[in-house]
Amino acid sequence: MHPTLNIAIKAARRAGQIINRASLDIDKLKVSVKQQSDFVTEVDRAAETAIIEVLREAYPNYGILAEESGLAGTPADSEFQWIIDPLDGTTNFIHGLPQYAISIGLAKNGVMTQGVVYDPNRNELFTASKGGGAFLNEKRIRVASRTRLDEALIGTGFPYRGFEHVDAYLAIFKDMAQKTAGMRRPGAAALDLAWVACGRMDGFWELGLSPWDIAAGSLLITESGGIVGDFAGESDYMKTGNVVGGNPKIFSQLLQIIAPHRTATLQA
Ligand code: IPD
Ligand code: CA
Ligand code: CA
């Protein structure tokens, strides 16, 4: 295993301990609102601090992009950059709904090379290294092999703030719901991508995500035989935040459903 992946795992597990401990006492959580429907707790911050501490100790010169502390004082242009979501699924966490995860990715010159998504509720550790495959608790994982959309279970994320694309979203949803076996909105994008990587869902799409939601999970999918793209099927999803993923056949069928609904503002 690559040493950077080992360190990312150590950091994710450390954050998992903090989150698990806090989940026993969610009534005491202090919640602040960043913007409409965008919450942060002291647990997000404590988990992020712990992650950054572990990563920095091992790799002091690597850049960092983390949800709660931004670039964390590191240069934006370093060759290596950790991309961190300390608690993906904060709204679930606040409600005691056990569907959230820690996501840590490492990019080299903008290309994802290592990824960890850790689900502290199920103690499930998803890992991937570029060219080395993807694993769930050290067992090799593959995307689902289903090719028919009418048999496919598709994950998504509903818009919940800044509703400028809600009509396009609902139009895509309406088409997709009628062509697939079912739609799910579990509520933690990084974990959604991990679940596509291990075949629990056949595909996933969401718009307006942030790089820390996608970084590790996208590598999990590509390393488990799937494809990830933006709404045009291109690789710009870390910039636009619009993501589609699945095995190659499902991926292209999802893109076909999305294509007619791409508006002037929702190009990719
Ligand atoms: C959110 C979750 C959610 C997705 C949102 C994300 P957070 O992350 O991944 O599933 O729909 O777009 O912002 O804020 O809980 O880290
Ligand atoms: Ca997130
Ligand atoms: Ca988060």
Of 82, 83, 76, 122, the residue nearest 99 (C-alpha): 122
Contact 266, 159 (CB under 8 A): no
Domain co-membership, 26 together with 119: yes
- Per-position b or e across 19-38, b if 16+ CB within 10 A of its CB: beebbeeeeeeeeeeeeeee
Q: Which domain holds residue 235?
A: 149-261
The reported pTM is 0.96
- Are residues 133 and 158 located together in one domain of the fold? no
- 217 alpha carbon to ligand 3 midpoint, in Å? 14
Same domain, yes or no, for 125 and 179? no
Q: Which of 140, 159, 184 is a domain's end point? A: 140
One domain, residues 69 and 134: yes
Q: Is residue 266 part of a domain?
A: no
Q: Which two tokens stand for residue 118?
A: 């850790």
Residue 191 sits at φ, ψ, to 5 deg, of -75, -35
Measured CA to CA, the distance from residue 221 to residue 203 in angstroms comes to 10
- Residues in the 5 Å CB sphere of ion ligand 2: 85, 88, 213
Residue 245: inside a domain, yes or no?
yes
List for the chain the helix, strand, coil content (%; round to 5).
40, 25, 35
User: Residues lining ligand 1, CB < 6 A?
Assistant: 85, 88-91, 157, 187-189, 206, 209, 213
pLDDT of residue 216: 98
State the ligand closest to the CA atom of 48. Answer: 3
Residue-level pLDDT at 119: 98
- My answer on whether 92 and 65 are in the same domain is yes
Which parts of the chain register pLDDT below 50? none
Terminal Cα distance for the chain, rounded: 35
For residue 215, the domain's CATH number is: 3.40.190.80
Give a yes or no: residue 116 inside a domain. yes
Residue 37 placed within a domain: yes
How many domains does the chain fold into? 2
Q: Which residues contact 242 (CB under 8 A, 6 or more apart)?
A: 206, 207, 208, 209, 230, 231, 266, 268
Our mutation pick for probing the ligand 1 site, out of 19, 118, 193, 213, counting the most ligand atoms within 8 A of Cβ, is 213
268 belongs to a structural domain = no
What CATH number is associated with residue 108? 3.30.540.10
How confident is the model at residue 182, as a pLDDT? 97
DSSP 8-class letter at 70 = B
Query: For 84-102, what is each residue's pLDDT tens digit?
Result: 999 999 999 999 999 999 9
- Ligand 1 centroid to Cα of residue 243, in Å, is 13
Whether residue 122 is found in the same domain as residue 164 = no
Residue 53 covered by a domain: yes
**CA of residue 255 to ligand 3 center, whole Å:** 27
